[in-house]
Every structure is written in C-alpha cells, then in structure tokens.
Amino acid sequence: MIPPVDLVVPVKPLHVAKSRLRAGRGEADPAHRRLVLAVTRDTIAAARAAAGVRRVLAICSDRAAITVLRADGVEVVADEPSAGLNPALRHGASLLRSDDQLAAVGAMQADLPALRPAELAAAITTFVEAGAARAFCPDRAGTGSTLLLAAPGIDLDPRFGPGSAHAHTASGALPLDGPWPTLRCDVDTEADLAEATRLGLGPHTRAVLIEQH
C-alpha cells in the first residue's frame, strides 16, 4: 500500500502570474486572469483526483482566486510569510506536517492544465518504490521542476525557480524520469499552452480558451 502524500500548490496573484502568456496585454486584463485561474483549477482538480494524494493545500493570497478555489472545495491558506515561492512552500509543508508527521509531503506547480491524475499517481508510486528521501519531476524542457516529494520525516527543502532541476539534483533529490508528459507540461509560454492543448486540457482551461477564441 502506497502511503498518503499531502501536496502544497502555490498560487500567485492572478494579475502577475504567467506574464509570458499575456501577449502584450496589461496586468489588469481580465481574460488573462480568467485563463490563469482556469489553469490553476484544472491542476488542483487533477491532483485531488490522483490515487495516493490525500490532501491538497493551496497557498494563495489573491481574493478572487481564494473565493473560486474554496467554492471548488479546495483548502486554501494565506501566502505566508509572503517572501516568495520557496518560503511559501516551506510554510505549506510545515502546516501539513503539523497535522501528520507520518505523511509524505510534496509541492506541485499550479500550471499543469493537462495533468492526468494517473500520471501523478504513477510518479508518487515511483518515488515510494525507489525509497528516496526526496525526489522531483523535471519539466518538459528538463531545466525546471513540476513536482517535489519528500518522505515522512524528511524536510521538503524546495528549490523552485530558474534552473530548479539542477538545484534539486544538487540538493540530493532523485530525478523521476517516467513517461508522464502531462505532469511535465508546465505552461509558461504560448508554445507550452499549445503542447498542453495537444495533450488534452482540463475542462476549465478548455472552456476559457474557447471563450477567448
């Protein structure tokens, strides 16, 4: 039996997230905010549906996003200490561990709109079977990370940001290199979004793109 994994998902304020997808539109553009929120909702919904995932905790301080995510039944806490991505993830992991010291914890990016629950479940199973203390899934380019996992009692120690694949490897985390295209397909650019569309978008992202075209 695979032990449960509790995941932290960081959610940036909608007006600043995914700036390379704005296509020249300003921060106030409502269409961009709707797209970012849709991508987040599909990502979290897939994570919550994955076998082996017991709990998903969103770290977010955007009021509009909080309202929608909570309506979806997602657990949301404020971004504290509001000092950037990795501090937010450490905060979330600490909250999860305060409730259950025996669970594995993980951090997953919020920009995986094509994510299939079965692929996330397979990555978690691979991590557990490898007996690794920490492990991560590289993104499609091989330079970033979409998922970081830590075994019970092990510090998550997130190193997300530019070059995070190298940073996580250097910190001792095991690369997980299974055939999981939807888990690797984070969306930062129009090309990424096109690839996610080819793989099959979640319903919220698909609906927003249909609306915008």
Domain boundaries, the chain: 5-212
* % of the chain beyond a pLDDT of 70: 96
Q: Give this prediction's pTM.
A: 0.94
Reported as a single tens digit per residue, the pLDDT across 181-193 is 999 999 999 999 9
Q: pLDDT confidence of 212, banded at 50, 70, 90?
A: confident
Closest CA to 126 of 170, 179, 164, 167: 179
Phi first, then psi, for residue 42 (nearest 5°) are -65, -40
Tens-digit pLDDT profile for residues 151-206: 999 999 999 999 999 999 999 999 999 999 999 999 999 999 999 999 999 999 99
Report the topology of domain 5-212. Answer: Spore Coat Polysaccharide Biosynthesis Protein SpsA; Chain A (3.90.550)
Are 183 and 146 spatial neighbours (Cβ–Cβ below 8 Å)?
yes
